[in-house]
Structure 1
Amino acid sequence: MAEEIHRKTRPGAPAGFFDCEAAGLRWLGQASATGGARVARVLGVGPEELLLERIRPAAPDRAAAAAFGAALAATHDAGAPAFGAPPPGWSGPGFFGPLADPRPLPLHPRARFGEFYAADRLAPALAALDGVYGPAERAVFDAVARRLLAGDFDDDDPPARVHGDLWSGNLMWDRRGAVLIDPAAHGGHRESDLAMLELFGAPHLDAILGGYREAHPLPPGRERRVGLHQLYPVLMHAVLFGGGYAGHALRLARALV
């Protein structure tokens, strides 16, 4: 029987957009062989399309959610050469955002999480929001950046192999469990993927987090760090969609200084 294909297309896609996504899917998929999360398999790629295996949706249950949590920990544990490292086979910036309006995602390998997050996540997002925040509000974000650059949020955890845009819409479920799609894959901090899942909610989130912790215990105080890891995606939602996201990001930043 011929394999069912899902064709993802975007006429006029930015150069390399689908090649980058395919590289990220393959890199994440390599971890599946050692217990990592399942990833939609790449069947073909072109300048304006990506061919993937078709996933037949099914409702998740708590057991599937816990199994996904453990598998996500294994994916993260597969590691990356550095914070901000691109997936093998890709060079240059990645992409973050919806298919209709993807934005550049800086990918510069760095040794420290704080430097990576301040320079290659918060700074570009804030530059794209020039004029949205007044001087006093920008000073709050500058204070967060100083803490990041000073190493206040660094820990001993090595760079993880992260999905990079792990909201619930990029987590599909079929009869076998969870499947990752649409990554912005790079070397990052494992808590960023978890915080993204929490940002908009995910089915049986408590079971996902429980399965994750059982496979890979997290340092104390993770709940206090969720806002830090949500700050970049919320800023980018302000860039892409406006609305109340700018205020949401400011509240997250104020809680960090």
Structure 2
Amino acid sequence: MPLPDSFAAWLAERLGTELVGRAPVGGGCIHSAWRLDLADGRRLFAKTNGAASLPILEAEAEGLRALAAAAGEAGPRVPVPLACGLAGSSAVLVLPWLDLAQGRSAAHGPLWRRLGAALAELHRHSLTRTCVAEDRPGEAFGWPRDNVIGSFPQRNGWEEDWARFFVERRLAPQLEHLASGGHPLRRAAPLLEHTGQWLGAHRPAPCLVHGDLWSGNAAITRDGQGVIFDPAVHRGDREVDLAMARLFGGFPEAFFEGYQNTWPLPSGHRSRRELYNLYHLLNHANLFGGSYVGQSQACLDALLDLGEGEGWG
């Protein structure tokens, strides 16, 4: 979507300086992305979409502010939104520009280790830090408003029991939508039933999590800072972030070492990893179809076969 004619005036009113240059940026599959050059020398980043997408961008802005508040000085860098709203018929989110390093070379290992440690600090600090959006921080799992995972609706609200939250607000909506679209998964009902049992003995603290931490949403900047962005925040088991970071690859092992050395994960996290990542496979099946449907079924079957044989805790 092109920037509207009214965008320059909209931006100047909010940031107090003129727009002197703009250029499209590739990589996004949901929104249009732009590099903005301002008269005061700043370079910014903007996402735009139709007016109907404003709630999605507002939810992203809210999530970024929450992560930044929880991160503090010890956590990862998080781009704090500079403006969000309607410019003419376009929804717009304006963020600081991130000058990202290219690739994930071995030379960046210490920086990724530091980012893993910083994520652990964010998770831990979030237990005692109140985010502006929350009405009961640190007391329950969820978030005050629904948001999205990719472009798929993510159901939130609050729930004191983690197992119930993950079954009813994460797995069930994905399975129901997949079935309504003509791709019901075999043994879906037993999976939901057993998930509640498997997670029943697991008592995680309700940490603020990124929620969509694949390698495309984390990076190292050219000046050596670890940064995370494009979140789908909620309060949940911190293991969900570490699980997704392994799902599609891209994170070096140093990242996980940095996290584990700072705040070790509890026993059983390797078994729970596949369960937590089923949510993201189902989401991809709903968004993209194709082989993700088969991958979701295979993951579901493997979980039931393993869980029924050994049980989880």
Provide TM-score, normalisation by structure 1: 0.89
Q: What is the match of residue 108 of structure 1? A: 157
Q: Does 1:133 align with 2:190?
A: no
Distance of aligned partners of 1:126 and 1:212 in 2 relative to their CA distance in 1, 3 Å threshold = same
For residues 95-125 of structure 1, give each alpha carbon's deviation from its aligned partner in whole angstroms, at most 9, with x where no partner exists. 111xxxx221111211121101100011110
Q: 2:245 aligns with which of 188, 197, 208?
A: 197
For 2:200 and 2:293, locate their aligned partners in 1 and report how far apart those are by CA, in whole Å: 23
Question: Comparing both structures, which one devotes a greater share of its residues to strand?
Answer: 2
Judge which range, 108-117 or 235-244, deviates more: 108-117
Larger Rg, first or second structure (1 or 2): 2
Q: Which runs of 5+ in 1 are unaligned?
A: none
Runs of 4+ in 1 over 6 A off after TM superposition: none
For 1:166 and 1:178, locate their aligned partners in 2 and report how far apart those are by CA, in whole Å: 13
Q: What is the match of residue 44 of structure 1? A: 83
Q: What's the offset of the Cα at 1:84?
A: 4.1
Q: 1:183 aligns with which of 227, 231, 234?
A: 231
Q: What is the match of residue 11 of structure 1? A: 50
For 2:122 and 2:199, locate their aligned partners in 1 and report how far apart those are by CA, in whole Å: 26
Greater RCO structure (CA 8 Å; 6+ sep)? 1
For 1:33 and 1:92, locate their aligned partners in 2 and report how far apart those are by CA, in whole Å: 23
For residues 169-207 of structure 1, give each alpha carbon's deviation from its aligned partner in whole angstroms, at most 9, with x where no partner exists. 111220222211111111111111111111111241x11
Q: What is the match of residue 165 of structure 1? A: 212
Q: What's the offset of the Cα at 1:152?
A: 3.4
- Contact (CA 8 Å) 2:81, 2:94: kept in 1 or not? yes
Q: Which runs of 5+ in 2 are unaligned?
A: 1-39, 128-136, 305-313
Equivalences for 1:171-250 in 2 at 5 Å? Answer: 171-174=218-221, 175-204=223-252, 206-250=253-297
For 1:154 and 1:22, locate their aligned partners in 2 and report how far apart those are by CA, in whole Å: 34
Judge which range, 115-124 or 247-256, deviates more: 247-256
For 2:251 and 2:196, locate their aligned partners in 1 and report how far apart those are by CA, in whole Å: 35
